Amino acid sequence: MKTLWNKYRYLFFRRTTQVGLLFLYFGANAWGWTALMGNLSSSSLFGIIPLSDPYAALQMLAAGAVLAVDLVVGALIITVFYFVVGGRAFCSWVCPVNLITDAAAFLRRKIKVDDFAKKQPATRNLRYWVLGLSLIISFAMGVTAFEFVSPISMLHRGIIFGMGFGWAAVLIIFNFDLLVLKNGWCGHICPLGGFYSLVGKYSLVRVHHTQENCTLCMKCKVVCPEQQVLYMIGKETMPVLSGECTNCARCIEVCDDDALNFSIRDLIKNNKSGE
């Protein structure tokens, strides 16, 4: 049986990372810190290294904007980083909306909302349609379409500069995930999550399943926000290859059989097996 620390260590690290980043952004605005200045769309690390949201850069490009060199460099840095560690690690380790959706998912399990909503009315591919549509609207209207309505940006700006309308976005997403659709926003709609799914499709850091250790308790699928990526549970020893995995590690924490752990993807082996 796992110790309390082993059951929640990754959750602790995730929350520390999320809150820590928000605190650094807040400190830059409130006290002039230079460690991390800006916002999730465009930042500067120590006033030297540019960091830019590649999805926002794509929208700007589609809208006809001429991208500054530092923005392009920043977008490349972030893309390479998430290509290595797993694109949707952004969703579970950085995005502030994850705090809201995780809370809704936890409460949903506790009050057993799933008993009243067995069928989900949406496909997880919807996020890719929203992603494509946002780029089309950006091109047609000459604006960064998703950035205008992004609850991620609203919440992030709200925490740093004052909530305002950000509270409405928080309440809408929380209630939508709690009462309407399990993992509704992050798992079905958010185009940024869809973008990072594509970035992380061939990433190196993966959750790995060892079939010999699995007792089919299915605790991993209960807590996983993208449970379709765990199709191999109890069937085959292999890494989770889907880019939709958020690398949140909750499946690792709840597994008492040590059947799930992080590993570095063996690109050569996987390429050969796919030939």
Give 92-105 pLDDT, tens digit per residue.
999 999 999 999 99
The mean of the pLDDT values for the chain is: 90
pLDDT, tens digit, 9 for 90 and up, residues 198-233: 999 889 999 999 999 999 999 999 999 999 999 999
Q: Rounded to two decimals, what is the model's pTM? A: 0.89
Provide the residue ranges of all domains of the chain, joining segments of one domain with +. 4-198, 205-273
> What is the number of helices (H) and of strands (E) in the chain?
14, 6
* Contact criterion met (CB below 8 Å) for 101 and 185: yes
% the chain with pLDDT above 90: 74
- Can you give the pLDDT at residue 79? 96
CATH no. for 205-273:
3.30.70
Burial 246-266 (b: 16+ CB within 10 A, else e): bbbbbbbbbbeeebbeeeebe
Confidence at 51, pLDDT banded by 50, 70, 90: very high
Is the pLDDT assigned to residue 269 strictly greater than 70? no
